[in-house]
Amino acid sequence: MEIVKPPEEMSAWSERQRAAGRSIALVPTMGCFHAGHLSLMREAARRADLVVVSLFVNPIQFGAGEDLARYPRNLERDAELAAGQGVVVLFAPEAAAMYPSGFQSKISVAGVSEGLCGRSRPGHFDGVATVVAKLFNIVRPRAALFGRKDLQQLAVIRAMVRDLNWPIEIVEHPVVRETDGLAMSSRNTYLSPEERVSARSLSVALGHVRQRVAAGELDPAVLRAEAEAILQQAGVIPEYLEFVEAATLAPAAMVGPDTVLALAAQVGKTRLIDNARLFGAEL
C-alpha cells in the first residue's frame, strides 16, 4: 500500500489508473480507524478494482471550541489497518496543501444541511461538502462510500453529487455497532468507563422506539418523550431526537416506512450521534 500526501501526486496516480481502465472506490475518513471504517473498505473492494482511503482531519468542518486539536490521530496504526483490508493508496494530505494561502471557496448545500446537527454546528456541513468535493476532484472515484451513522452528512453529499452532476455512485453503508449496541465512532475514545456505560442508552432508546413502532405506536411526540426519558435516566443530555424522512430529512408528522429517528446527545463532554430506521430488521 502506498501513502500519498501531495494532492497533485494523488491526482496523477488516479489519472494513470483510470487511463488503464481501472475503477476506483474512495472511502473518505478522518482516521482513528475502527471496525466501521474497515467494513467500508471491504465493501469498497467489492465495488471497484482499486480502493483509495483518504485520511484527513478537515479543519474547516470544526467550529470554535470543538475538538479539532484533540481529535485522535495515529497514521502508522491506520496505515497498517488499511493495508490489511486491501487498500492500495492511503491519501493523507497536509492541511496546508488542501487549503493553501488564499483559499476562499466553499460549497454550501441548502435544505438538508440546516436541521439536526446543522442547527448547533453552523458552517459544519459547508466544511464537509467542500472537503468532499475536493477529494472527489483529486481522486476521481467511480464510487464513494459513507456510513449511515452520519445520516445528515450522507444526505448532504448525495444532494451535492446530484446537483453538480458528478458521475459518482454514493454508497450508503449500515451503522456498525459494538456488541452492546453503541454505534462505532472515533469519538468513543473520549469516553470514560462510566460514560461508556451511559452512552449505551443511545442505542437502547433507538431499540425501544423500534419496538414501540412494531407494536403500533406511530406518534412522534409520544415516542420522543419515551426516548428522552431513557437518555435522561442514564445521565445523558439529549440535544435532539427527531423523526425525519430518510431521503430528505424532512420532519415526519407520523412514523412511516421511510422514517428514521436521528439523535444527538452529550455524554459527559462528548457529543455523540446515532440513528435508526424504524421499520425492518436493521437497527
CA angle 265, 61, 251 (to 5 degrees): 50
Backbone angles phi, psi at 29, to 5 degrees: -145, 170
Catalytic choice (34, 37, 173, 208)? 37
Q: Phi/psi of residue 2, each to 5°?
A: -90, 145
**Could you tell me which residues come within 8 angstroms of residue 221 by beta carbon, excluding any fewer than 6 positions away?**
none
Closest CA to 147 of 240, 38, 230: 38
Concerning whether 208 is annotated as a catalytic residue, the answer is no
* β-bridge pairing 50-55 and 2-4: unpaired
Which of left, alpha, beta for 21 (phi over 0: left; psi -120 to 50: alpha)? left
Which amino acid is located at 256 in the chain? Answer: G
Q: Please give the C-alpha separations between residue 238 and each of 116, 183, 212, in angstroms, as whole numbers.
A: 12, 16, 20
Sequence-separated contacts (24+) of 245-250 with Cβ below 8 Å: 246/151, 246/277, 247/155, 248/111, 248/112, 248/155, 249/112, 249/115, 249/116, 249/151, 249/152, 249/155
Asked whether 28 and 54 are in contact (CB, 8 A), the reply is: yes
Spell out a b/e string for 201-214, using b for 16 or more CB atoms within 10 Å of the CB, else e.
Answer: bbbbbbebbbebbe
**Catalytic positions, please?**
37
